[in-house]
Amino acid sequence: MTVLSVSDFSVTLQNRGVIHDVSFDIGPGEFVGLIGANGAGKTTLMRAILGLLPHGGLSSLAQLPQAARAGHAAWMPQMREIAWPITVQSVVMLGRIPHLGTLQKPGADDIRQIEAALARMDLTEMRHRPATQLSGGEQARVLIARALAQDTPLLLADEPIAGLDPAHQIATMQTFAALAQQGKSLLVSLHDLGLAARHCTRLILLGNGTMVGDGTPEEVLSPETLAQVFGITAWCQHTDQGFVYQPLDVIR
Ligand SMILES: Nc1ncnc2c1ncn2[C@@H]1O[C@H](COP(=O)(O)OP(=O)(O)OP(=O)(O)O)[C@@H](O)[C@H]1O
């Protein structure tokens, strides 16, 4: 079974080929980290997969009728400033809109999903505060909670843990891993290779707009690839606590 299928995918922006020759499938229970250097094309690829940018090739998500997409995939974009002074709880409740009919009020299942998302992102105590008065990292957690409340088979998130403190970064990655264990699928762009290695079931590595790696963290984060794509060295080891990976130096 496939939750997302992307094939022969390409994106051209202002006459410049930004994404080319990208093909992959994501199945249930996969937590896929999308990694690559600045400008590699991660944001462009995810936005085009969602159908937010014109593209060549196939994305099974972009092919869905627009109304069906929000029931299939939740999206957390990189720009995460909340503009309206509504409460944290109200922002999270917006995640339930795809499940409600016109003028239909949230029911017991909606409330349960909202409560679970607030608790998962450690927001229960600040639920009544205006979202605009929260810090940048707190606002990011609110938007992750909104995506979780949407309760879709697929979650796409663009650098969701950027700007979070270490405890909330780890907790968010653990939440994503737990969702994958429950059978959800996730495609999440990340710059923190240590957290990606530790929590993702699979990594897709982009270089200059195309796939240069796809496999387990151990397979993708090889010394050769790191040197070639990121220009860095790293220390990595299998430990009792899992695969530990620490970037060390820039290769000059
Ligand atoms: N609207 C646009 N028009 C032309 N080129 C663009 C446009 N948007 C992005 N690009 C270019 O596409 C390339 C990929 O950008 P993208 O934002 O997808 O990279 P990224 O991997 O997400 O980078 P980062 O890690 O810095 O967020 C970059 O070279 C960027 O300059």
How many domains are contained in the chain?
A: 1
C-beta of residue 169 within 8 angstroms of C-beta of residue 159: no
Adjacency order of strands within the sheet including 4-13: 16-26, 4-13, 56-59
Going along the chain, which residue ranges are E strands? Answer: 4-13, 16-26, 31-35, 56-59, 73-76, 154-158, 185-189, 202-207, 210-215, 232-239, 242-250
| CATH number reported for the structural domain that contains residue 134 in this entry | 3.40.50.300
18 touches ligand 1 (CB under 6 Å):
yes
Burial of 212 (0-12, 13-18, 19+ CB in 10 A): middle
H or E stretch at 118: helix 108-120
Residue 62's pLDDT is what? 96
| Complex ipTM value | 0.97
35 lines ligand 1 (CB under 6 A): no
Positions in the chain short of pLDDT 70:
none
**Which of 44, 187, 206 for a ligand 1 pocket mutation test, highest count of atoms within 8 Å of Cβ?**
44
Range of the domain at 17: 4-250
Which pLDDT does position 239 carry in this prediction?
Answer: 87
Q: β-pairing, 56-59 with 4-13?
A: antiparallel
> What is this structure's pTM?
0.92
> Does ligand 1 come within 6 angstroms of the Cβ of 43?
yes
Binning the chain into helix, strand and coil, the percentages to the nearest 5 are: 40, 30, 35
Q: Would the CA dihedral through 157, 179, 200, 136 be positive or negative?
A: positive
pLDDT at residue number 103: 76
